[in-house]
Amino acid sequence: MLYILHGEDDFSSRQAYEQIKAGLGDDDMLSCNTTVFDGQDVKMNALIGACITVPFMTSWRLIMVKGLLGRLQGESKAKGKSKFGGDNWQTIGGYIKDMPPSNVLVLLEGQIRKDGALFKKLRGIAEVKEFPLIKGGQLVSWIADRVTQCGSSITRSAAAQLADYIGSNLWVLASEIEKLCLYRQEGQITDADVTEMVSYIREANVFAVIDALINRQRSPVVKLLHRLLNDGAAPAYLLFMITRQYRLMMQAKDMSTAKVPSAEIGERLSIRSDWALRKLLDQSRRYTVARLEADYRRILNTDISIKTGRYNAELALDMLIMELCQPS
């Protein structure tokens, strides 16, 4: 049996994989009959070998490959080839069809193109499940359901507040919901609980500052930045986060110019979220190399000005915002 689980919502696709795994029986025995491959470097012969191997002392064998289709689509676009590293992956469907009925192969993917040649070949023999990002009212309902699963309850407004602060990142939401349920135990989670307990809120506001800064929206940046400073955020931390984002943009720009596939860029930069990677690549495209280098020097000069006492931290940050928000 072949499953293809794909989409931007990697939390839900991972949960679907765990459900498939749980349905195959005893976990201890299955662990001895489970093979996991990284799709970024798996060889076709190794995958075929795992797929044709019968299970040992149990009824099922599980093979999981993460990111294979995304990698092949990226390489195909970059190189215009149908063979990758000597492997003709277009023939893999025939081997999958011949798998023993006891074997289950799961391709766990991020967002992929549905017009990809290999995907189109495999979907006819696979159970395909797509997991788009959950948004709006669906996200609020998901939060309420998750809280219920944890044995607690939450007001509709508190769930909406969580959705607004954190967005569609279900990994972070699940973590913060767990904290809130432990804090409130069997009581109902309210807006005040969310404001008091959710550590991600300030982090989310930091990223809002960075997004507005990259978009050169000076007025929103100033308002958000001073709100964070008034709430006790350290100027050094804010400058560190700005520096980090511009450094990532420079690295992404450099690799994109060198025609490095998107999946490989994410791997090199240790960015696991497909959504975060797409956002970074989009931001880097808006800037020329010269502008990125100039802005990065401005950020480094601001750091030196603060550390040498030339300007106090808040004034230095205000001056930096004025410089970074200047049009090209």
Q: What is the CATH number of the domain that holds 71?
A: 3.40.50.300
Question: How far apart, in whole angstroms, are the C-alpha atoms of residue 17 and residue 256?
Answer: 32
Q: Mean pLDDT over residues 40-48, rounded?
A: 91
Same domain assignment for residues 192 and 104: no
What pLDDT, on the 0 to 100 scale, is given for residue 75? 64
Same domain assignment for residues 84 and 44: yes
What pLDDT, on the 0 to 100 scale, is given for residue 189? 94
Q: Mean pLDDT over residues 271-287, rounded?
A: 87
Same domain assignment for residues 181 and 116: no
Question: How far apart, in whole angstroms, are the C-alpha atoms of residue 5 and residue 178?
Answer: 26
Instruction: Identify the residue with better confidence: 73 or 14.
Output: 14
**Into how many domains does the chain fold?**
3
Determine the Cα angle at 248 with ends 225 and 168, to 5°. Answer: 65
What pLDDT, on the 0 to 100 scale, is given for residue 86? 61
Among residues 300, 82, 310, the alpha carbon closest in space to that of 320 is found at 300
Residue type, 33: N
Same domain assignment for residues 46 and 114: yes
Flag whether pLDDT at 282 surpasses 50: yes
Split at pLDDT 50, 70, 90, the class of 202 is: low
Which of 82, 112, 130 finishes a domain? 130
Contacts of 324-328 with C-beta under 8 Å, sequence gap 24+, read 324/213, 324/216, 324/295, 324/298, 324/299, 325/213, 325/216, 325/217, 325/218, 325/221, 326/216, 327/216, 328/288, 328/291
Flag whether pLDDT at 158 surpasses 80: yes
Which of 80, 95, 130 finishes a domain? 130
- Domain span at residue 61? 2-130
Flag whether pLDDT at 235 surpasses 90: no
Flag whether pLDDT at 133 surpasses 80: yes
Which of 198, 227, 251 finishes a domain? 198
